[in-house]
Amino acid sequence: MKVINKKRLFSAKSMPTILLFFLLVRSAAGGPPPGAKRGRWQTLLNNTGVVAMHTALTHRNTVMIFDQTRAGRSGYPLRRSHYDGSRCVPSSWNPSVDSSCWAHSVEYDIEGNTIRALNLETDTWCSSGTFLSNGTLLQTGGHGHGYRRIRYFDPCTDHRCDWRSPEALLLADNRWYASNQILPEKDRVIIVGGRRVFTYEFLPKLLSSSSSSRERSFYLSLLRQTNNRKEEGNNLYPFLHLSSDGNLFIFANRDSILLDYWRNKVVKTFPRMPGGGSRNYPSSGSSVLIPLDHTDGFQKVEVMVCGGATTGAYTAAKRKTYLKGLSSCGRIVITEQKPRWEMEEMPGPRLLHDILILPTGNILIINGATHGCAGWNNAANPSLEPYLYKPNKSLGRRFSVLKSTKVARLYHSSAILLPDGRVLVAGSNPHARYTFKDVKFPTELRLQAFIPYYMDQYFDGRRPNNLSIHYSNGGYGARYREEFTIKFRLDLQREPDKDSIKFSAYSPPFTTHGVSMNQRMLRLKCKSIVREDGGWMRAVVEAPPSPNVAPSGYYLLTVINGGIPSIAQWVRFMQEN
C-alpha cells in the first residue's frame, strides 16, 4: 500500500504498526476491500472449440462441455472421424454439413486449463443429465437419433475415458427438453417431460423376465395442463427439486405440485405463481433450492423461481419483436401446511440465465438476456451484470449488482461453480450453426471465470486452507448420520470465533438452458471443533440424516470462516450396502 503524507505526521518506523492497525480494523468490520465487492472476470481460454450448451463438474475436477452433434462444424477440428475412424481431409467433405470430423464434446481440466475432445455418437441437443452415486454422469435424451438414448461418462484420471451409449438400453418415450432428478433410492433417476411428452419414467428400469427394455412411462397431467402449444410449450425443462420428505416438487409454466412418484399421486398442489408470463422453456426463467440447514433438521424446504418471459414472447420474437422479460422472483416453502408465494423484484428483467448457490450460501444469477425468449435469435439485450442474492436478508435488501462482463451469454450458454469458488461461464450460440461473423451475437467459444469478492487475496488471512477429510470407518465415504473429521488450518493469531465457522456440502448440478439439475446445498452439523498446534483445526461433522435430504454421491465440502470459504474438497455420502 502506498501512503502519501505531505505533512509527515507519521514516521517511517511507525508505518508498519499503523498499517497493521488499519488492516485489523478493516478485518473486524468484515467488509471486502474497495473494488472487490462486485467481483471480477478472468478469461481462461479463447476457444473451447465446443459451445457449452451443457456443462457438468465431475469429482475428478474436470468439466464436461458439450453441444448438439448435428450442427455441422464446431470450433474443434478432428484428425479422424468419430463415426468410422477415417482420416479427416477438409477437401473431401463438406464442413457445413458433415459433423463427424468436428468435436461436439470436450472435457476441460481445471488445474491444467486444457481441453481434450470426446466422442459423442448420438445427438444430445437439449438433453438432460444426472450424476450417480459413484460419480458417473448419466445423460439422457436429446434430438433425432438421440431422442431415447442413454449415455454414460465415467470420469477418470488417465484421460482415456469417453462416452458410452449401450444400444440395447432405450428410454420409454422421447426426451427432448426433459429434466432429471436423482432420487433417494440408490442410483434411481426420474426423467420428467419433453416436447409434446406428458410423462415421466425411471432409470434404471425395473426389468424382469416378462418385461422389455421399453418399460412403460407414467402420465403426469400437470405437463398437459401447462402446455402452451402456440408458445412452443412454456413448460419444457420443468424445474425439479427433491423435498426432504422424499416427494418430488415439479414446476411447469406457472404451476407446481408435490408428487409421490412411487404411487403416481399428487400429494399437494401449490398456488399458481403470481406475476403473469411463463417461467419454463422457451420463456426460460430459472429455479433454485434455498440451502437446507441442520438447525431445523433439514425440514424447511424452500424453492425460488426467478425471471422468465412475458406472455406472447415466443410469437413476438418470430416477428423480430422482443418483449421485456420478467423481473420478479418468487419463494415458496413447500413443506408448510399452507404454502404461499413471497414475491420480490430483481434489479432488472432476466431470462436465459443461470442460478447457482455459492459456497457462502448466497445465490448468483448470471448470464441471459432482458428481452425475448429462448430459441434461435429469439432474444435481445444481453444481461451483462450478475446479481447477488442473499436469501437470509430482509425483503428489499437481498439483491445487489456485480461486476459486468463484456461477453454476451445468451441462448445455449451455461455456468457452474468450481471447487475453488470461481464460477465457470461458457457458451452462447443463438444460431442453428456455428456463426462467427456478420451477426450481432456471434457464436461464443471463450471460456471465462467470474471471481466473487470472497476470493480476493485480502481475505486469505481468514480463509481456511489445507482442508482434508477423514472418514471414521476408514472407507471411501460417510454413511448417513455418521460422524467424520475435517482438518484444516486457520492463519490467525487469536482463537477464532467457532460460531462463525460453518460447513457446507454442495451437490454440483448438470446445467443446461438455465436449469441446474440436482443442485442443492446443505449446512452440516458440527459436533465439536478444537484448535491444535500450528493453527490446525479439527472438526467433527455429522453426515446428512438420510438420502431424502442428500441423495448418495459426491459433494463439494467447504469450510466457511466469517463468510470466507475454503477451497472445497470432495466428500462422499453413502448408503449402507
Identify the bridge partners of residue 354 per DSSP, sorted by sequence position: 366
**Rounded-to-integer distance, Cα 257 and Cα 251, Å:** 7
Q: Which domains does the chain have, with CATH numbers?
A: 460-574 (2.60.40.10)
Residue corresponding to grid cell 436478508 = 393
pTM value is: 0.92
Do you know the residue count of the chain?
A: 577
pLDDT on residue 257: 98
Contact 242, 181 (CB under 8 A): yes
What is residue 131's predicted lDDT score, i.e. its pLDDT? 98
Q: What does the pLDDT profile of the chain (577 residues) look like in tens digits?
A: 333 333 333 333 443 443 344 444 444 445 556 667 899 999 999 999 999 999 999 999 999 999 999 878 899 988 887 777 788 876 555 555 567 889 999 999 999 999 999 999 899 999 999 999 999 999 999 999 999 999 999 999 998 999 999 998 999 999 999 999 999 998 999 999 999 999 999 999 765 444 454 568 999 999 999 999 999 999 999 999 999 999 999 999 999 999 999 999 999 999 999 989 999 999 999 999 999 999 999 999 999 999 999 999 999 999 999 999 999 999 999 999 999 999 999 999 999 999 999 999 999 999 999 999 999 999 999 999 999 999 999 999 999 999 999 999 999 999 999 999 999 999 999 999 999 999 999 999 999 999 999 999 999 989 999 999 999 877 889 999 999 999 999 986 666 677 799 999 999 999 999 999 999 999 999 999 999 888 899 999 999 999 999 999 999 999 999 999 999 999 999 987 6
Which cell goes with 375?
A: 430459441
In this structure, are strands 564-565 and 265-269 parallel, antiparallel, or unpaired?
A: unpaired
pLDDT the model gives residue 22: 41
Is there a contact between 552 and 186 (Cβ–Cβ < 8 Å)? yes
pLDDT for the residue 1: 33
Can you give the pLDDT at residue 389? 98
For residue 469, what pLDDT is reported?
97
**Contact indicator for 52, 413 with CB cutoff of 8 Å:** yes
CB atoms within 10 A of CB 498: 14
